Chain A
Amino acid sequence: MKSSFGVIWNIAATTVGEAIHRRILLIILLIGVVLLSVIPTLSILTARSQTSITIGTMYAVMRGISAMIAIILTIYMIPNEIERRTIYTILSKPVQRWQFFVGKYVGAMLALALMIALMTIFMVGIFWVFQHPTPAKLLEISQQPVLYWMEMCLLAAVAICLSTFIAPLINFFLTLGIWLVGTVLNPLYSSVAGDSNTPPILKASSKLITEILPNFANYDTKNPIINPGQNITNQGAYYSFVIVYGLLYICVLLIIGGIIFDRREV
Chain B
Amino acid sequence: MSLFKRYQKVIIAAIVLFIAQGALQQVYIYNYWQKNYSPQSGELFASELAPEQILLNLLGFREFLAGILWVRADGFFDSGNYDAILPIIRLCTLLDPHEIDIYATGMWHIGYNFTDQDQRSDRRYIPIALALGKDGVKNNPDTYELYFEMGWMYFNKIQDDPDQALKWFELSNSKKDVLPAREDLLANAYFHNGQITQGLDTYYRLYNDAVKRTNADNVFANSQIRDTLEANIDNTIIRMLQRGYLAQQRNDGSYQKGDYDTLNPFDVGLSAKITVVNPRVVSVEGTWNVLPVGTHLRFIIRDLNYPDAKPAELDWNKDTTVSFNLPTDRTYMQDDLFVKDRRFSKTIDMSKDITIYPFTAPNYLMEIYYNPRFAPPHLQDKFGWSGEGMTDKNYLNTSIRPGIRCIYCTLQLSRDQILMRGPWADQHASVQTPNFKSFDTNQSDTDIVKVPTLRGGG
Contacts and interface: CB of A to CB of B under 8 A. Distances in A.
Given A53-B63, A256-B14, A187 B38 contact: yes
B42 A190 contact: yes
A190 B38 contact: yes
B21 A220 contact: no
B142 A229 contact: yes
Interface in B13-47: 13-14, 17-18, 20-22, 24-26, 28-30, 32-34, 36-39, 41-44
Contacts of A222: 37, 60
29 contacts: A45-B71, A46-B101, A48-B101, A49-B63, A52-B98, A56-B60, A57-B61, A59-B60, A60-B62, A183-B60, A188-B44, A190-B42, A212-B22, A218-B29, A218-B30, A218-B33, A221-B33, A221-B37, A222-B37, A223-B37, A223-B39, A224-B36, A226-B63, A235-B36, A244-B24, A249-B21, A251-B17, A256-B14, A258-B10
Given A227-B98, A230-B36, A248-B17, A211 B26 contact: yes
A165 interface: no
B44 A57 contact: no
A186 B63 contact: no
A210 B67 contact: no
B255 interface: no
A118 interface: no
Interface residues of A, number: 58
A173 interface: no
A191 B39 contact: no
Interface string B250-274: 0000000000000000000000000
A46 B61 contact: no
A194 B40 CA distance: 12
Interface string A239-258: 00110110011011001101
Contacts, number: 149
Interface string B381-399: 0000000000000000000
A221 B11 CA distance: 33
Contacts of B70: 45-46
B64 A186 contact: no
Nearest to B57: A184
A52 B98 CA distance: 9
B21 A248 contact: yes
A248 to B, nearest CB: 4
Q: Main SS of chain B's interface residues?
A: helix
A212 B29 CA distance: 14
A211 B135 CA distance: 30
B99 interface: yes
Contact of A45 (B38, B42, B67): B67
Name, among A180, A218, A234, A263, the residue most crowded by chain B CB atoms within 10 Å (CB to CB): A218
Contacts of A249: 17-18, 21
Contacts of B58: 180, 183-184
A60 B60 contact: yes
A191 B17 CA distance: 28
B62 A56 contact: yes
Interface in A63-97: 63-64
Interface of B: 3, 7, 10-11, 13-14, 17-18, 20-22, 24-26, 28-30, 32-34, 36-39, 41-44, 58-64, 67-68, 70-71, 96, 98-101, 142-143
Given A184-B44, A241-B32, 20 more contacts: A45-B71, A49-B101, A52-B99, A56-B63, A64-B59, A184-B58, A186-B33, A186-B34, A186-B38, A190-B42, A211-B25, A217-B33, A223-B36, A223-B39, A224-B36, A232-B36, A251-B17, A256-B14, A259-B3, A259-B10
Question: Which 6 pairs of residues, A with B, have the shortest CB-CB distance?
Answer: A45-B67, A60-B60, A211-B22, A56-B63, A248-B21, A227-B98
Contacts of A235: 36
Given A238-B29, A251-B14, A256-B14, A245 B24 contact: yes
A203 interface: no
A191 B7 contact: no
Interface of A: 42, 45-49, 52-53, 56-57, 59-60, 63-64, 180, 183-184, 186-191, 194-195, 207, 210-212, 215, 217-218, 220-224, 226-227, 229-230, 232, 234-235, 238, 241-242, 244-245, 248-249, 251-252, 255-256, 258-259, 263
Contact of A218 (B25, B41, B59): B25
A63 B99 contact: no
Contacts of A188: 44
Contacts of B42: 187, 190-191, 194-195
B28 A47 contact: no
A212 B63 CA distance: 29
Contacts of A230: 36, 142
A24 to B, nearest CB: 20
Contacts of A211: 22, 25-26
B299 to A, nearest CB: 39
Nearest to A54: B63
Given A45-B70, A218-B29, A53 B64 contact: yes
